[in-house]
Chain A
Amino acid sequence: MSAPSVDESRAADAALRDVANAHRPIAWGRWLLWALVLIIATDFGWIVANNENFGWPVVAEWFTAPSILRGLSVTLGLTVVAMVIGVIIGLLLAIARMSDDRLLSSLAGLYIWFFRGTPLLVQLIFWYNLSTLFPQISIAIPFGPTLASWDTNDLITPMTAAIAGLSLNEAAYMAEIIRGGLLSVDKGQVEATDAFGMTRARALRRIIIPQAMRSIIPPTGNQLISMIKATSLVSVIAMADLLYSVQAVYNRTFEVIPMLMVAVIWYLLVTSILNVGQGFIERYYARGERGAGGDKAPARAMEEAI
């Protein structure tokens, strides 16, 4: 054989072996699995849609009824207010908990211990019945004169009891989430802010918290979603949230399942919207990270392991 033809065959071989031209084998098993799952899902959907006990016409009738929408707005409003207050108090608690000051950190620890250690439902009932414990609430100098005083029953309505109960409980959980986030920031970052003579507050605001956000956001999304559902607990203290409004209807009409379906669909709708929002926020705080798909790598490794 002459030399050129050897070269030619080598070149052809190299082209054949170029992975850019590789074919992917058809995964029959995967297609089969897809088909199977789709069939089962369709069948399940068909059964649910045609089951008269779900009372879909009733669901449709009540889905956008004024009383339901009013309940929904109470649920959403309560969630937002309780969450905002919870995050603010939680942030302060987290900073206090990490402070070198023993007094501050033990006070924060005590708060977290108490509010995480007791059921939310019990806390809500406690707040609602606060007047039986303290008939009067006063601002006063300890062991000194009273500056201002209110009747507890005037202050504690279902609304204030619900906000106090939900947000103070949420603060305890958020404190631990935020503390975890702050601890995840590289120690060198804190040193850099120290070396540049930044005050603690500025260092937290400009350097530490923005970096902590990456690990704070996902569990906070979790908390927000459980908060939406936790607001349904306030129905026990006569707060007219989504669940309470639904219950008010089925107590009259006895259409329990259809009315609960109304609530379930609304809860799912709201949490879906929140999930999308969370994705946007996560992407914002991931700026400066290498490649947008960076966070997928561990998941991919898991998939391949399975």
Chain B
Amino acid sequence: MNVAARDSAAAASAAVAPLVRARNVHKSFGANEVLKGIDLDVAPGEVVVILGPSGSGKSTFLRCINHLEAIDRGSIEVDGEQIGYQLRHGRLNKLSSRAIAVQRRKIGMVFQQFNLYPHMTALENIIEAPVGVHGQDRREAVAYAMDLLARVGLSEKAPAYPRQLSGGQQQRVAIARALAIRPKLMLFDEPTSALDPELVGEVLNVMRDLAGQGLTMIVVTHEIGFAREAADRVVFMDGGIVVEEGRPEDILANPQHPRTRLFLSRFIDTA
């Protein structure tokens, strides 16, 4: 996204209600407190990249947004709905797993390990949710799936099973699969961490295209280069809190916090 668009997005974020609103999010695994009060707003159309050392809680936070992990304190809203809970007559009730499933249907997710369905072809993987969950017409879904496969550069791989694809190709199919439900929000959980170095670029290229098309994205990654080029905002997390956040050129070039500086110094070669 260019600077003008980014500034207008930032200006819009002040006026328009945020698509994602996280408040005081806490999460523990046993005695280990992984998230210690996260606040984050993401405006519609914004691309937010979350950076941080491993163990900083960034993946856990991402998985809380679509309730793959239940949070212990605080609240997360997506598109005006509180995820996993419902406020009625001044009482907050836990939602049934069926109702949570419905909430998740506008959020696309891309996993570190791709998690494609191995017994289905690339095309079947992509149309599974649109046809089976969203009740779309099969022919329409296939047409859109082929469209998406073309966008990720894999038109000829529609009949291939995941095992017959390289890691990078699998991840591109996984991105197409997540896009097929026409999500309002896309979550990327370290999408390139399981890839061989020479396959990272093809996946980042697809993600860069998406970022330029106004899709709201939250990306957890170690790819500083991607953050610099595609992010509207960079959030740096460490020890379960947001240490600092801001425009990528500020955070990456001129970090204020010593922990951010230490983290970025390890990636000096990518600059």
* Residues on A facing B (Cβ under 8 Å): 186, 188-189, 191-192, 194-200, 202, 206-207, 210-211, 285, 287-290
Contact = CB atoms under 8 A, between A and B. Distances in A.
B97 interface: yes
Contacts of A285: 119
Q: Majority SS of interface residues in chain A? A: helix
15 contacts: A189-B117, A191-B111, A194-B68, A194-B104, A195-B104, A195-B109, A196-B109, A196-B129, A196-B181, A197-B133, A198-B133, A200-B97, A211-B117, A289-B163, A290-B163
Contacts of B118: 211, 288-289
Interface in B111-169: 111, 113, 115-121, 128-129, 132-133, 161-164
Contacts of A287: 119, 161
A189 B97 CA distance: 17
B104 A288 contact: no
Given A188-B115, A194-B68, 11 more contacts: A186-B115, A191-B68, A191-B111, A192-B117, A195-B66, A196-B133, A196-B181, A200-B97, A211-B118, A285-B119, A288-B119
Nearest to A196: B129
Interface in B46-78: 66, 68
A49 to B, nearest CB: 48
B105 interface: yes
Given A195-B66, A197-B103, A197-B133, A288 B128 contact: no
Given A197-B105, A288-B161, A192 B133 contact: no
B119 A197 contact: no
Interface of B: 66, 68, 97-98, 101-105, 107, 109, 111, 113, 115-121, 128-129, 132-133, 161-164, 181
Given A207-B117, A210-B119, A288-B119, A195 B132 contact: no
Contacts of A202: 132-133
A288 B129 contact: no
Nearest to A210: B119
In this complex, which of A186, A189, A211, A290 has the most chain B Cβ atoms within 10 angstroms of its Cβ?
A189
B98 A199 contact: yes
B186 to A, nearest CB: 11
Nearest to A286: B119
A195 B121 CA distance: 19
B191 to A, nearest CB: 13
Contacts of B119: 210-211, 285, 287-288
A192 B132 contact: no
Nearest to B105: A197
B132 A198 contact: yes
Given A197-B101, A197-B129, A287-B119, A192 B111 contact: yes
A14 to B, nearest CB: 32
B104 A197 contact: yes
